[in-house]
A = this chain, B = another copy of it.
Amino acid sequence: MVNETQHTCSASSSSRSDGGSSSGSESSKDNSRCSTPVLDADRHERLREKMRRRQDAGDKWFSLEFFPPRTANAAVNLISRFDRMGAGGPLFIDVTWHPAGDPGSDKETSSMIIANTAVNYCGLETILHMTCCNQTKDDITGHLQKAKRLGLKNIMALRGDPAGEEWEEEVDGFNYAVDLVKHIRNEFDDYFDICVAGYPKGHPEAESYEADLKHLKEKVFAGADFIITQLFFQPETFLKFMKDCQAIGITCPIIPGIFPIQGYHSLRQLVKLSKLEVPQEIKDVIEPIKDNDAAIRNYGVELAVSMCQELLDSGMVHGLHFYTLNREVATTEVLKRLGIWKEDPRRPLPWAVSAHPKRRVEDVRPIFWASRPKSYIYRTQEWDDFPNGRWGNSSSPAFGELKDYYLFYLKSKSPREELLKMWGEELTGEESVFEVFTCYITGEPNRNGYKVTCMPWNDDPLATETNLLKDQLEKVNRRGILTINSQPNINGKPSTDPIVGWGPSGGYVFQKAYLEFFTSSEIVTALLKVLKKYELRVNYHIVNVKGQNITNAPDLQPNAVTWGIFPGREIIQPTVVDPVSFLYWKDEAFALWIEQWAKLYEEESPSRMIIQYIHDNYYLVNLVDNDFPLENCLWQVVEDTFELLN
């Protein structure tokens, strides 16, 4: 993403006037000024602009198609697949519309909610498919309004399959995709980017290939911004189609739909649905190996790679659209082989950004939600005016309460049985809780031989950055400093650093050391004595579940703990320790003990009572070492505390 940003800069710089044209004070007085540093043009452009910019720059890109899941569990899995495949850097994903699956509803399996989650919680540019046949105008308008409200910006306008065999055109109804395109443009002006489908071999129901091209042209002229094609098996098919389109005046981007063959049955089913014919040479290879899934997939990958390569080499194709069938392996393999999968995607900010348009200026968050970004987005989803540089102008909007710990996109990927294995079928005391924390840090199996790969506060294994602190973290967790968040101090590493870097290249990133943990009131008492010695250097916030709060922070001022300095830009300070939001985080952090851990056990069971005891009596502590150029003193603070206790 960052490479593109750089490109824009140099593009705008190359448009300088060299003493020629004037951009003097008169002309610039009316220019509006950015209120927030534009770190990443990708966050500010519409999809069609991104596409154009990539094309102008000669960058190749890809996109991924998914269908909505059937069950809530499958939804949880699909969202974590979005996170993983999103890391490879697709230009967008799209989510198909399942008329039979209540696609516009609030169900966790609906097309609408899956697309919503992709945009808002996974930060992916997303196209929502929408079909129009057999639907009323009001239904369609309602769906579109809802999509807009949720922050969706792109629609794939389709006819959809008529319900019965004997479908007839309805007068004044939506009979073709072109009607839907017109409707969107009429009702929503230029708000949505609109995509339409192209059929390289012609639509199976069209009178002719030529007639179908004419229909496509109508859709484009009605307001579509680009075309994604149905799958095809030979590159020539697409290249001919593209030339034919251009010949009749279709100039918008046309993106080939790529279907890596992943299995015999899925291919047969797809072919049946799409009424396409598989070329004989492919049939000849597949038939003999139809029972060997791995062999078919390997062949599918080879075939896709060679077809994609040929398309890209033609110079006519800049982006490739993949029909993933919700699977990861084959598509990822093809993309890696083509070299367009981003192995080391640069982070525009140290946290995962949301793709909702109203959040595009968001450039600062409290550090507390670092491992729970989806929860932070959820709790701030009602904010209108986004934190921009610093929070709001005078008062921050309230955080939403987190009641729905079981919302599918906030839920742990691991089922209850697995969590019990990791966190203990039976706890014998606070020490057994210390052990769970320690095993999570070290990666060593617990006493029953299970690795602890997630915690209530972090559904993923330890971050690479936290790994830098592993030895110290292990030591303190063993002794009851139960860490849930931390970062090392960084004094000006290049923004391209593979572990701590973020933002455009050519910059420098900085961090103050941070440590956040639960601990007993005995340890807190000793800690407070020790902290007196560090009064000028260490800021602390110490709070229990009842909200008793001890701090030495100047009143309500946030402390910037991550910042970056970049060429030609204002300073960015994306994470802060903010005293106000800490008290909201506190509610969530304490609740996770109960909601995610205690509730694994029977009521009144000793295990549950141990967790309840910790919840009721421990303190949540955060410490910042302000002296970032010196060696992190927080370990010494903890060491001094243990010494005082002995």
Contact residues of A with B, CB < 8 Å? Answer: 8-10, 12-13, 16-38, 389-396, 398, 491-492, 506, 508, 510, 521, 524, 528, 535-537, 539, 543-544, 546-560, 563, 565-571, 573, 576, 578-580, 583-584, 586-587, 624, 626-629
Contacts and interface: CB of A to CB of B under 8 A. Distances in A.
A153 to B, nearest CB: 21
B557 A568 contact: yes
A391 B37 CA distance: 11
A575 to B, nearest CB: 11
Contacts of A627: 506, 567
Nearest to A25: B583
A551 B394 contact: no
A32 B394 contact: yes
Q: List 7 A-B pairs, minimum CB-CB distance, nearest first.
A: A24-B547, A13-B552, A567-B626, A25-B583, A32-B395, A23-B549, A539-B568
Contact of A554 (B9, B390, B492): B9
10 contacts: A9-B552, A25-B583, A28-B549, A30-B395, A32-B394, A35-B390, A35-B393, A508-B628, A560-B569, A570-B573
Given A570-B560, A573-B570, A536 B506 contact: yes
Contact of A392 (B16, B35, B390, B571): B35
A569 B559 contact: yes
A397 to B, nearest CB: 10
Nearest to A30: B395
Contact of A546 (B22, B528, B568): B22
A257 to B, nearest CB: 36
A524 B29 CA distance: 25
Nearest to A554: B9
A542 to B, nearest CB: 8
A29 to B, nearest CB: 6
A148 to B, nearest CB: 22
Given A10-B535, A580-B28, A626 B23 contact: no
A598 to B, nearest CB: 21
Contacts of A27: 547
B628 A565 contact: yes
A536 B567 contact: yes
Contacts of A544: 19
A553 B570 contact: no
Of listed A27, A560, A584, residue having the most chain B CB within 10 A: A560
Nearest to A629: B492
A35 B580 contact: no
A352 to B, nearest CB: 22
Given A492-B491, A550-B18, A570 B32 contact: no
Contacts of A546: 22, 24
A528 to B, nearest CB: 7
A207 to B, nearest CB: 50
A7 to B, nearest CB: 11
A304 to B, nearest CB: 37
A540 to B, nearest CB: 10
A450 B623 CA distance: 59
Nearest to A391: B33
Contact of A568 (B28, B395, B573, B626): B626
Contacts of A390: 35-36, 389, 570
A544 B20 CA distance: 11
A471 to B, nearest CB: 27
